[in-house]
Amino acid sequence: MAANDTTPLIEKRSIDYIPEAERHGRLFSQFTLWMGANLQITAIVTGALAVVLGGDVFWSLIGLLIGQLIGGGVMALHAAQGPKLGLPQMISSRVQFGVYGAAIPIVLVCLMYLGFTATGTVLSGQALGQLFGVSDSVGILIFASVIVLVTVLGYRVIHFIGRVASLIGVVAFVYLFSRLMSQTDVGALLQIRHFSWSSFLLAVSLAASWQIAFGPYVADYSRYLPSHTSSVKTFLAAGAGSVIGAQVAMVLGVFAAAMSNGQFAGHEVAYIVGLSGTGATAALLYFSIAFGKVTISTLNSYGSFMCIATIISGFRGRLEVTRLQRLVFVLMIVGTATLIALLGQHSFLGAFKSFILFLLAFFTPWSAINLVDYYCITRERYDVPALADPNGRYGRWNLLGISVYVFGVLVQLPFISTKFYTGPLVAALGDVDISWIIGLVLPAALYYVCAKKWHGTVPDHLILPKEQGASPTTNGLAAQA
């Protein structure tokens, strides 16, 4: 399963099906990629929010772990689809939403990528600004340039960066933990236990939303694995890497916020690096923070490119993406995210909390529908060539999937609690936001019941494009370069 020596460094494919002859990679790369994507400063900040916003250390740690396991399970179920289908995650949504209808959740996914790329760029800009002695704004621009380069190179380079980031992240986090333990009485912090449902469920929601947000693109990075790769092992490799990496980072954030005496908010990067002292060690930590953000920011930018290509191809019927067009797409995506980062860098923490919680209202219903359809209704029996044909099996618009999705978003509104919007039932529940639970359970149940009765024709087996000697009438995705 090692990479083929003839595999080009610059990825030549985009949203098209990956032929078996081009499959490569190892399951361990899924683990390292997702661990590297999570061992980074934004995850630290996310964990810190559980304390900054009123939680104690003990119950915040438990709440975060529960959220990681729930959200990580959802995320890993999406990852397991990659080797079987050989497709990016969002293009498979055409089964549930139709070839045109899939654009509805994909547009929202693009907004998510922009938000995460922008927030990650803010923190990386702080790190590079300190490292090179320049302003945060200049640091943001430097970081954006690196992201453009890695995203254009594509799949193999992204996985390589993930392996390196995992190694650097482990070393940096071990050192930071050792410094933190030497500067604070961890036992005393753990003894302070003031349980409240609002703070506890906030911690669960922070971690769950963090993991669920990977769902729309996690299969993009497992789709090159050979098709015979075990779904269970793919689930465990991607899920374990993401859950372990995120929980380690968020635990560090919880303790850092608890011992900061209010100095963490607004100075997240400087405070974390300050745990180690100054000089060469601090410079290395600033570098590790910036490098750690390269992985996840590249995933977001790469995912944005894939989503835009998917939307355009859905309406045009096919899409050939040249390397120049790929560069233009990436420059537009990263440029937009960089502009958002430059404009919003001084109000980062509060905006980020509201952003990641509000995301759940749009992505939990999509995730519920996709997973129920794949594992319970079609049971992996997709007609992959038909995903490129608006007149084919899946049609232009799937009213069942779209209707359940809209229901899934609307049914959460009374339970959402963010700066953007607060539902009428939040106060009655003690200011506890349970919208993401509603958004997972109710759409999943409704879609299962309705699809069992009214689903379209499901093939008897998984239908893949012909890789050699395909007939002229075959509507394969192989035409979509």
Q: Kindly report whether the global pTM for this prediction surpasses the value 0.85.
A: no
Nearest to 257 by CA among 235, 238, 272, 245: 272
Q: Provide the residue type at 134 as one letter.
A: V
Quick one: pLDDT at residue 479? 37
Residue reference for tokens 């380069």: 149
| Cβ atoms of 81 and 219 closer than 8 Å | yes
| Cβ atoms of 221 and 24 closer than 8 Å | no
Can you read off the two tokens belonging to residue 166? 């995992």
Rounded CA separation 436/412 (Å): 7
Can you read off the two tokens belonging to residue 120? 């990650």
CA-based radius of gyration for the chain? 22
Can you read off the two tokens belonging to residue 46? 């996310």
Q: Phi and psi at residue 44, in whole multiples of 5°?
A: -60, -45
Can you read off the two tokens belonging to residue 203? 């911690």
Per-residue pLDDT tens listing for the chain (481 residues):
444 445 555 666 667 788 888 887 889 889 988 988 888 877 888 888 888 878 888 999 999 999 999 999 999 999 999 999 988 888 888 999 999 998 888 888 787 777 778 877 887 887 788 778 888 888 888 888 888 887 777 667 776 777 787 788 788 888 888 887 777 777 787 888 888 888 898 899 889 988 988 888 888 889 889 989 999 999 999 999 999 999 998 998 898 888 877 666 666 677 777 766 667 777 777 777 777 777 777 777 777 777 787 887 777 766 566 677 777 878 888 888 888 888 776 766 456 656 656 766 888 899 999 999 999 999 989 998 888 888 889 989 999 999 999 999 999 999 888 777 788 988 887 777 788 889 999 999 999 999 988 877 788 898 888 754 444 333 444 333 3
Can you read off the two tokens belonging to residue 181? 């333990």
Q: Provide the residue type at 393 as one letter.
A: R
Q: Which CATH class is domain 24-348?
A: mainly alpha
Q: Provide the residue type at 183 as one letter.
A: Q
The set of residues, in sequence order, having a beta carbon less than 8 Å from that of 469 and lying 6+ positions away, is none
Quick one: pLDDT at residue 211? 92
Rounded CA separation 258/42 (Å): 17
Cα angle 239, 243, 246; round to 5: 140
| Cβ atoms of 87 and 374 closer than 8 Å | no
Partner residues linked to 422 by β-bridges: 417
